Amino acid sequence: MLLLINFCSLYLCFETSKTKTNIMENLNMAPPGPKGPFSENWLVEAILVTLLCCLPFGVVGIIFAAQVNTKQQAGDSEGAEKSRREAAKWTKIGFWVGIGWLILVFLFYFVLGISMFGIANSMD
């Protein structure tokens, strides 16, 4: 009987609520996720830069990005913002260094390929 009453109250709660937040409020539950104005932490971008572009700068970006949410939850908004800026800086540096390195490698192989092609043609 108690299960039936709980099911009916849950059904009515879902019927009268339009959004997930309203459903959580009707169930006297807090909506999931962080409270307050959280800023982007650059964690995903830093991980991608680490894997695809430049490992050292990407790791530094990951370290600073991991600090953003921790500082924000501790109430240190200024520290969180500073960590966010540092994460953004090192992630961008890693991205552009990785792009520059790729360009240099492609130019090296292009020049090497042209010179080897010229040597091969001169031997004929």
Using one digit for the tens of pLDDT, what is the confidence trace for 14-65? Answer: 455 555 555 555 555 554 555 555 568 999 999 999 999 999 999 999 999 9
Q: Buried (b) or exposed (e) across 72-97, using 16+ Cβ within 10 A?
A: beeeeeeebeebbebbbebbbbbbeb
Instruction: Tell me what the mean pLDDT of segment 70-92 comes to.
Output: 94
What's the total number of domains in the chain? Answer: 2
To the question of pTM greater than 0.95 for the whole model, the response is no
| Range with top average pLDDT, 1-15, 67-81, 109-123 | 67-81
Domain that residue 10 falls in = 1-32
Q: Are residues 9 and 54 in the same domain?
A: no
Cα–Cα distance between 48 and 75 in angstroms, integer? 28
| Chain CA centroid to CA 77, Å | 19
Instruction: Tell me what the mean pLDDT of segment 1-25 comes to.
Output: 49
Is the model more confident about 50 or about 4? Answer: 50
Q: Are residues 61 and 107 in the same domain?
A: yes
Cα–Cα distance between 80 and 82 in angstroms, integer? 5
CA angle 9, 15, 21 (to 5 degrees): 90
Q: Are residues 71 and 14 in the same domain?
A: no
